[in-house]
Copies of this chain bind each other. A is one copy, B any other.
Amino acid sequence: MADQVDIIVSEVGPRDGLQSVARIMPTAVKARWIAALAGAGLREIEVGSFVSSKRLPQMADTGEIVAASVRIPGLLVQALVPNRKGAERAIAAGTHKLTIPVSASRAHSAANVGMSPEDAIDHVREICRLRASLPARLGIEATVATAFGCTMEGPVAEDWVMRIARILAEAGVDSVGLADTTGYANPAQVKRMFTRLRREVGEFSGGAHFHNTRGQGLANVVAALDAGVTTFDSSQGGLGGCPYAPGATGNIVTEDLVFLLESMGLRTGIDIERLIAARALIAEGLPGEPLYGQVAEAGLPKGFVPASRRPAA
């Protein structure tokens, strides 16, 4: 596969996917799944979150999973942390990069992390100060959640999202991403918001996190690519769909995203066949769990050559 990549596909299935499934994937299978994803060429994986294991027992083994994952050569091991305490646990476990969500919606912020957006921003500031005291390099990405709308509040003001993004960039994070936590985003809005994000925070402009709840996920990716976004979160098998709404998948599906990018001529460094094969680990760890993704069902087109396997121009 190509050593150079044009787009970073950042797998969040072991975190965003598994936290949305009521059952718990056994730790050993989770570790093998992450290894299989890395083996397929994924270079960034959000392997879990350091949150209350009472609230999310699916994430109780994140420390162990981080410890196993950092032994995989070339893999950037990420974990979500909602606050300073989570960051301390993540750092102790050896996590390479922290993802910190700050929800633009007050109602969602209260429900999700039990604090206001302003208090969440204070935690980001504290974590950035904490980093300054560390001997080793630690990555920090902040993500503005519910940036495109909220199931509780409805529309979210774009100016407010941009103000949060600016404050986060000033707080000292490496990058600020935008997340469509609720599957509300449309391509026109995505292009406008990411274009504006780049204008507001420049080189700190981060990745896109889309959900496919209304089937618009890959359409939003096309719009984000147009706005210059180069990092996309996705989840193998679209893991995390609500079992009571068969069509309402969670994150965009990694397999379909990689096919989209590679067919457009954008190198991801990911081997689609090996990626599809890794779905077997989800089936092993969560038997019967519905998996999404149409490339895995339909197969690759006849004569298809992914960008990562084309000779350099």
Contacts and interface: CB of A to CB of B under 8 A. Distances in A.
A263 interface: yes
A21 interface: no
A154 B303 CA distance: 5
Nearest to A302: B154
B301 A245 contact: no
A187 to B, nearest CB: 5
Contacts of A213: 294, 298
Contact of A150 (B155, B187, B295, B302): B302
Interface in A205-258: 212-216, 218-219, 221-223, 226, 245-249, 253, 256
A63 interface: no
Interface stretch (A33-41, A123-131, A178-186): A178-186
A294 B295 CA distance: 17
Stoichiometry, as copies per complex, reads 2
Contact of A264 (B152, B182, B186, B218): B186
A293 B215 contact: yes
B303 A155 contact: yes
- Candidate in A155, A214, A265, A302 with the most chain B CB atoms within 10 angstroms: A214
Contacts of A154: 301-303
A260 B302 contact: no
A302 B149 contact: yes
A213 B293 CA distance: 10
A159 interface: no
A235 to B, nearest CB: 14
B218 A295 contact: no
A230 to B, nearest CB: 16
B294 A247 contact: yes
A50 interface: no
A111 interface: no
Interface string A291-309: 0111111100111000000
Contacts of A53: none
A20 to B, nearest CB: 14
A28 interface: no
A253 B256 CA distance: 17
5 contacts: A186-B263, A214-B259, A219-B260, A247-B297, A249-B294
